[in-house]
Structure 1
Amino acid sequence: MSTQEYEDILYEAGNGVARITINRPKSLNALSGVTMVELTRAIERAGNDASVGVIVLTGAGDRAFSSGGDVKWEKEGGLKDRHVGVNPRAVHEAIRHCGKPVIAVVKGYAIGMGNHLAYFCDVTIAADNAIFGQNGPRVGSPAEGWLVTYAQRVVGVKKAREMWMLCRRYTAEQALEMGLCNVVVPLADLEAEVDRWCAEINSLSPTCLKIVKASFDADIDYLRDPSPNHFQKMMAPDFYESEESKEGAEAFFEKRAPDFMQFRR
C-alpha cells in the first residue's frame, strides 16, 4: 500500500516492510524542515504498525540518499530556531526508538545529515556508487553533541574526527572498510539485496529484535546532551546570524570556496 499524503517523502508498506523515500531528487534529496518533520512522522508510523517488521529508508533516484540539510532553507533562517519549530534530532530519535530494525539504503551521495542519518540506522546497505561524508565546517553549518559523538562508535575515534573535521568524501568501498556500511553491491543488484536483508529480518522474532535494539541504544544514552543545541548555544550563541554562517551559504550558491580565514580568532 502506498500513500501520497506527504509533501517531501513517499511512504509504502507491504509484506512486512515499510519503505520511506526522501522524494526531493532535484535537490539531491536535501532535507528541509518539512522533510525532517515528515520523516519523523513516517518512522513513528511504521514503528507503530504491527504489520511492519523492518523499515527501509532511502532517497529517490540513483544520485543521492541525501545531500544533507537544504542550504537554501538554512540560508533563509530554517535552522535559527531549530529544536523549537523543527528539530533535526527528532529524526534520529525516531530511528532509535521505533523498536524495529531500520535499514539505510544508500545510492549516490550521503553527505552531511544524509551521512549521519545513515550511520544512525541499524544497518546500511550501499550501492557501489555511494559517496559518504560530512559537510558542516565546509559550509558553515555546525552539527554537535551526540549526532557527532556517535560517529566514533561507528568508525573509531580517529576516523570519526577525520570525517567530521576534514569533510572528506569516502567511496562505498572505503565506507565499508571504515564500518559506515554493512555491504556494498552493484547498483543494479541493490533492490534484490535489500529484499534479502528484509526477508531475513522478518523471519526473526520481532520481540527479540526490539529488545536487542533497545539494548544497543541504551549503551549510548549517556552521550545525549543535557539540553538540545547545548554546545552551539554555549560556544557560538549567535552563529546563525553571523557573517561566518552567511559566508558558508553564499559560497555554496556562488560555487566558490568559502573564505573562513577571516573569522579565525
Structure 2
Amino acid sequence: MSWTDWSIAAGDGLDNFKEIIYEKKHHQALGGGIARISLNKPDRMNTLTIATVDEMFRAFYDANHDPSIGVIIVAGKGKHFGAGGDVDWERWGLREAFYNRYPHNRLMRMSRKPIIAQVQGYCIAGHNHMAYCCDFTIAADNAVFGQAGPRVSSPADGFFVPYLSKVIGTKKAREMWMLCRKYKADEALSMGLVNTVVPLERLEAEVDAWCEELLAKSPGCLEVLKAAFDQEMDGYKESCVISANMYPDWFDMPEGKEGGSAFVEKRTPEFWSIRSREAAAQEKLLQEYEEIQAARKAGTGKN
C-alpha cells in the first residue's frame, strides 16, 4: 500500500475535539503526509458554529506547522459535506461571528499548505463558500452546491463573496448568491466551481490520488504558488465590514430575525410585509416631525 493508515493527531490543544476529527497519514514512497479535518456532526448536517471554527483553527495551525504535511483536506462526516451555519446558534452567535471573530474562510486564506475540499451531498451556504475558497474541490456525483443567506436573512460580505466571481464568473456568482439556487455536481463542474466529479464510492480514492500528485511536487514551490494565487483576495474588505456599516443593528431588526424564524417554523418569510410596516412607521414619524416643526414655527410667529 502507498499510504499508512489514518491516525488521530495528538498533541497540545489537539485533544478532545467535539466538532471535528483531525487525522494524518503519510505516503510511504514519497515520504510526505496529508492532514484531514473532518466536520463531525452528521446528525446536524455538519452545521457550523464558532466552536467548530475554533477547533478547525487548532487543526489548521498544527497542519501548517508540521513540516511533514504537504496537503490539508477538509471533509464532512456522514451523507453531507455541510449545510452552512447552525440556524439555532446563529440567532445570537452570528453577532459574535460578525463583530468579534474571524470567518472560517480566513483559515483557507491563512493556510500555507494547499487545501482540498472533499465534498459529498449538500454543500450549502458557509460550507459552499468554504469549499470554493479551498485550492481544489473534488466532488462526488451526488454533491449539491448553493448559497442560502438572503433566504434566511443572513447577510454576507467580505472577500469570499466577490472572490466567487474569480471562480465561476461575475454573472453566475451573483446568481448563486442572490437567487440561492442549487446546483448539482455536473452543473458545478461546468461552471468551474469544482475540479472534478467522481462516483461517491470513489471520492476518497480520488482525493488520495490528487494528494499523491501534489506530494510529488516541491512543497516550498506549492506554498509560494498558493500564496500568489490567494493574494487576489486581499484587495477586498474583510468580512462583515459592509454589513456592519449598512445595518449595524441587523440582528435586532425584524427583517434580520424573520429569515431564521421562518426557516425554523418551515414557513415562507414575510420580508415585504415587514418592509411595508417599516415604511408606514417611517411615514408616521415624518408626519409627526413635520407637525411638531409647524407648531414651533407657529409659536414663534415664523413662516
Q: TM class by shorter-chain length?
A: over 0.9
Tell me the number of residue pairs that the alignment of Structure 1 and Structure 2 aligns: 259
Letter in 2 for 1:247: E
CA contact (8 A) 1:36 1:86 kept: no
Equivalent position of 2:109 in the other structure:
96
User: What's the secondary structure of 1:57's corresponding residue?
Assistant: strand
Q: Are 1:72 and 2:83 matched, yes or no?
A: no
Q: Which runs of 5+ in 2 are unaligned?
A: 1-6, 10-14, 27-32, 280-303
CA contact (8 A) 2:117 2:138 kept: yes
- Residues 48-89 of structure 1 show CA distances to partners (whole Å, capped at 9, x for unaligned) of 111111001010012x111001101012x001132555422x
Pair 100,222 (structure 1): closer, same or farther in 2 beyond 3 Å: same
**Structure with the largest fraction of helix:** 2
User: What's the secondary structure of 1:124's corresponding residue?
Assistant: strand
Question: In 2, distance between residues paired with 1:87 and 1:78?
Answer: 13
Q: Are 1:235 and 2:236 matched, yes or no?
A: no
What are the equivalent positions in structure 2 for 1:58-207 lying under 5 Å apart? Answer: 58-62=75-79, 64-75=80-91, 77-83=92-98, 85-88=100-103, 91-207=104-220
CA contact (8 A) 2:50 2:97 kept: no
- Residues 82-106 of structure 1 show CA distances to partners (whole Å, capped at 9, x for unaligned) of 2555422xx2222122211100000
Question: In 2, distance between residues paired with 1:71 and 1:136?
Answer: 11
Q: Percent identity?
A: 49
Q: CA RMSD in A?
A: 1.3
User: What's the secondary structure of 1:66's corresponding residue?
Assistant: coil
Runs of 4+ in 1 over 3 A off after TM superposition: 83-86
CA contact (8 A) 2:121 2:144 kept: yes
Letter in 2 for 1:101: P
Higher relative contact order (CA 8 A, sep 6+): 1
Mean CA deviation greater in 146-155 or 214-223? 214-223
User: What's the secondary structure of 1:78's corresponding residue?
Assistant: helix
Equivalent position of 2:20 in the other structure:
9
Equivalent position of 2:271 in the other structure:
260
Letter in 2 for 1:25: P
Question: In 2, distance between residues paired with 1:5 and 1:27?
Answer: 19
CA contact (8 A) 1:2 1:12 kept: yes
Q: Please report how far the alpha carbon of residue 26 of structure 1 lies from its aligned counterpart in structure 2 after TM superposition.
A: 0.9
Larger Rg: 2
Question: In 2, distance between residues paired with 1:58 and 1:234?
Answer: 34
Q: Which runs of 5+ in 1 are unaligned?
A: none
CA contact (8 A) 1:48 1:98 kept: no
CA contact (8 A) 2:81 2:123 kept: yes
- Residues 151-177 of structure 1 show CA distances to partners (whole Å, capped at 9, x for unaligned) of 101110000000000000000000001
Q: Please report how far the alpha carbon of residue 25 of structure 1 lies from its aligned counterpart in structure 2 after TM superposition.
A: 0.6
Question: In 2, distance between residues paired with 1:187 and 1:40?
Answer: 28
